[in-house]
Structure 1
Amino acid sequence: MSSSNNNKRRKVMKKMLLATALILFFVPGFGQDLFINEFLASNDACCADENGEFDDFIEIYNGGTEAVDIGGMYITDDLAAPTEYQIPDTAPDSTTIESGGFLLLWADKESEQGILHVEIKLGGGGEQIGLFASDGVTPIDTLTFGEQTTDVSKGRNPDGGETWEFFTSPTPGATNGGASVSDPVNLPEAVALEQNYPNPFNPTTTIRFSLEAHGDVSLQIYDVSGRLVETLVSSRMEAGEYNVEWNAVSHPSGIYFFSLTSGGEQITKKMLFLK
């Protein structure tokens, strides 16, 4: 190949690289500085919405330097269904979060009450929360939480930080730091995996486990030959207690093993499925 052809190819490659760099520079981000900052999954008498109703809430914090409009983004309580509910993009005055600001979403399944009322509801027994970009694919922030206490919220401290705490005096729409935050509720002191219940079972059983700190967690089911049958959990989870149900209806009767891996620890127990 001639040197002139090589030079032409180099010039074309340079132009392509430059174009790619310009696209990456100018295309706006998906809100990478937004955080699920606090939530309350069991609200009996803590915090009322504008209608005087005690609904679950999710607080979003903007830790970036620019205002972000979350209109058009998706909120879900099931990470396997990221497009469960799209936040309306028709009222940017209500859905824009200023730099360092907070926005409260009421998880009450009553969107007719206002643009910040979303069609999901949180479960006090443990669930998931996910904020996804307007493409319905890109995660902005996600979390999986365990069993909650009524009127006690859980939030990041400091705002947007990695540490999660329980607050007996929730702070919806305000900072989680400072005097307004009460003492955290006690957390598990170690990673633990309890025996499934019922056992033997047919066809569903519940597996309960505890985490002492946030981190990557997996909960997997194996058959007697050591073959992986199903992965029940594979995500980053916060400290707390969790219940996971396994439905074995599509599997044959027999002995199975369930294995929890977290923080470099692995715990395995045996269970019996009888049809």
Structure 2
Amino acid sequence: MKIFLKWGILVFYTPIFAQILINEYSASNLSRYTDNYQMEEDWIELYNIGSADEDIGGYFLSDDPDDLIQWMIPSNTVIAADSYIVFWCSGRDEYSGDHYHTNFKLKQTKNNPDHVVFSDPEGNIINDFEIQKTQLNHSMGRSPNGSEAWKIFTDPTLGNENSEPSYTAYAEAPLMSLEAGFYNGTQYLEISTDEPNADIRYT
């Protein structure tokens, strides 16, 4: 525990490194989950892997590691042991009850991808991940739940334990022996892939 003296008052601050984690996020939630405004917004999920409740008020979420204090988590925001809190990246900058909206949105189409960053009141980064591009309604999350390994979830688990199926990466596009275009007469097309155990279906 660290003790700080500020304006003559003792302030006790207990770091929660490694206990509260960014556990899952989605930057492609276009038609899956809706917030309290019935809007499909992107989201960040925090997970408390510890055995005690933690107050994360005064901590920060950001989409830029060079601007850690972009959005401060409201005071008295408590995440229970072995539980989750979801933050909607809607740009609304508000909260009501258990509905939290950051002042930024997540974007995965920029040349310089956004990040998802979680930091403490002292400016120490707890988690910082560059957003990985995902397909429609997919998410990136820790697998197994709360671990160091990150995978793609085709069936996101907003506010719940990350579960299968999960994948390490998307398959590379198959190779075609003919260029796209219009051809006269019969043509023979060969489709191949270097992906192990892949099935190619052509329709």
Q: Which residue of 2 aligns with 1:134?
A: 121
Query: How many percent of aligned residue pairs carry the same amino acid?
Result: 28
Tell me the residue number matched to 1:105.
87
What is the CA–CA distance in structure 2 between the aligned matches of 1:129 and 1:22, rounded to whole Å? Answer: 26
The answer on 1:96 being equivalent to 2:96 is: no
Contact 1:30 1:140 in 2 (8 A): no
- Offset, 1:152: 0.3
Q: 1:184 to 1:67 in 2, by over 3 A?
A: same
- 1:68 corresponds in structure 2 to 54
Separation in 2, partners of 1:149, 1:42: 7
Per-residue deviation at 1:43? 1.2
Structure label with greater radius of gyration: 1
Aligned length in residues: 160
Shift of 1:183: 4.0
Tell me, yes or no, if structure 1 residue 84 matches structure 2 residue 66.
no
Provide structure 1 residue ranges, at least 5 long, that are not aligned to the other structure: 1-20, 190-275
Superposed CA RMSD in Å reads 2.5
Tell me, in whole angstroms, the C-alpha distance in 2 between the residues paired with 1:56 and 1:78: 16
**1:30 to 2:19 alignment:** no
Which consecutive residues of structure 2, in runs of 5 or more, have no partner in the other structure?
4-11, 173-203
Cα contact 2:49–2:146 (8 A) shared by 1: yes
Change over 3 Å in CA distance of 1:133–1:68 after alignment to 2: same
Three-state SS of the structure 2 residue aligned to 1:116 is: strand
Separation in structure 2 between the aligned mates of residue 146 and residue 158 of structure 1, nearest angstrom: 18
Q: Aligned equivalents of 2:22 and 2:2: distance in 1?
A: 30
Higher helix share: 1
Which amino acid in 1 is paired with 2:165?
S
Q: Which protein has the bigger strand share?
A: 1
Aligned partners of 1:96, 1:138: CA distance in 2, in Å? 20
2:169 to 186, 189, 192: 186
User: Shift of residue 29 of structure 1?
Assistant: 2.6
**Deviation at residue 118 of structure 1 after TM alignment:** 0.8
TM-score (norm 2): 0.71
Alpha-carbon distance between aligned partners in 2 of 1:22 and 1:173, rounded to the nearest angstrom = 31
| Pair 1:158-2:140 in alignment | no
Moved over 6 A (4+): none
Partner of 1:212: none
